[in-house]
Each structure stands twice: as structure tokens, then as C-alpha cells.
Amino acid sequence: MNKNQLVAAIRERKNYLCVGLDTDVNKLPKHLKNEKDGVVHFNKAIIDATKDFCVSYKINTAFYESRGLQGWKEMEETLQYIPDTHFTIADAKRGDIGNTSAQYAKTFFETLPFDSVTVAPYMGEDSIRPFLEYENKMTIVLGLTSNKGAQDFEMQKIGQEHLYEKVLKIVSGWGSPDNLMFVVGATQATELSNIRNIIPNHFLLVPGVGAQGGSLSEVSKYGKNEEIGLLINSSRGIIYADSSESFADVAAQEAKKLQEEMALYI
């Protein structure tokens, strides 16, 4: 799914919700914990329950890579199960010298055919360029995050501007709104107006709504553009909303609540 198809899906389904499949084997419902394919069964049930209320799924690769070969198989099977009507994100935060990044790009755009992947910009253009060479794929660059450590570098001033502002300005020139997206944490909603002044036409991937305390209304108010331009991610607030055998039904209810609120802002 490319950017234009994503925009069309948002308009049609009246939401810009991304469901995060940050599936921790230790947090599975009790009846799935001892199943060999418990993670896959859990993910498939979540996808079936929420697909009508979202436009995207984000797989945090760390929760799968940490489990070795079994985890990689689970990630691949989960990705294959996601309908092609939904935008897929590999939340991998890769970034290395060019020839290494080329292998990472191949991993997440070919071997595992995600629509997009998150990357870190610290090493500069040659570390991101291999991802941008792929047609109809989105490279999602870390912009302004919500973690405490954002103060260490991202919010530091370089002359009259913050480092994150400089990153947005420079990186946006390496591609276009068709192949570049930026991560902006939901708890940084007060910075969204400024960010929109810098990158008015790019999509923003916004984690942190729900369990992390971000405000959907504020993010929508200050972050939207003419194409909506937002993917708001909710992970724990949806997939771990219930730990009983009814977990998927409760996940659907939580996703539906977000979808209905988003419809008001479109």
C-alpha cells in the first residue's frame, strides 16, 4: 500500500488508527500462554477483531526478534495475515552505514514485504538513502519522540532551533511526502503546530495515545493536514485491554471507540 492508497483508506474508513502488535509472550491470555503458536493465534484474533476499525498495523520487531527463529516465523506469519487493504509498518528503528542499511531495507521491503519501516537518522543521509530507493514504500524517520531521553539530544538547541527541527528540515529534503514519514510522540502535542510549519505535507506516525497518556483530540487538532496526514498508533490500550478469553472482543471495542472519535475529526 502506497501513500495515496493510505489516504484513500483513511477517507473511506473514517479513521487513521494504527494498531500496534507489540505482542509480549508473557502478556498473552492464560489460555494461549502454553500454546506453541500462541503469539500467532493472539495476533490473528486481534487482526480479525480490529481490521474494520483501523487502516494500519505496526509490528514492533523487538518483541519477535528477541525470541529467535520462532519469533521471526511468528512475525512473518503475522505479516502475511494482515489484509493488503491495511498499511503495514515494521517498527525496527534501523540505521547504519549504507551497505548495511541496504540489507536492512531488503529485509523489511523484500524478505518481509512491509509497506514501511522506521529508521533512525543519526548517521545521516547515506544511512537512509537505501530505504528511499524502493518505489511505493515509506521510510519513517524518528523525529521527536516522547521518551525522557528526548531531552538529551532532540530538544537541545543548535543556534536558534532544536536538533529535532534541524533533522526534520534536512531529512524532508532527501525524499518527498510520497516516501517519507516522521515519528512524533503523542505526548509532544504542543510541538505539533511547529512541526506542521516545517513539514506541512508529510504523514506523521504518532505513538503514545492511550496507555502512554497522549491526547487524541490534541494530536488531531494540531497534527492534521489536508490529507489527514496522521497515523495514530495504539498498542497496549487495544491488544491488552482484556486478558480473558474475550480479549479480542474487548480489543474490538477499544479500537471502535478510537475509530468513532477519529471520524469526528475527519
CB-based burial label for 255 (10 Å; 0-12, 13-18, 19+): buried
d(CA 122, CA 131): 15
CA 56 – CA 88 distance, rounded (Å)? 6
**CA dist list (Å): 233 to 33, 73, 94:** 25, 24, 19
Give catalytic status of residue 73 as yes or no. no
The three three-digit cell numbers of residue 265, written as one number: 475529526
Contacts of 220 (CB under 8 A, 6+ apart): 230, 232, 262, 265
Cell reading at 70: 520462532
Q: Who contacts 189 (Cβ-Cβ below 8 Å, separation ≥6)?
A: 214, 215, 218, 219, 222, 223
For residue 95 the three cell numbers come to 540505521
> Pick the catalytic residue: 14, 27, 93, 256?
93
Find the Cα–Cα–Cα–Cα dihedral 73, 76, 78, 81, rounded to 10°: -130
Per DSSP, 158 falls in state E
Active-site annotation, residues: 93
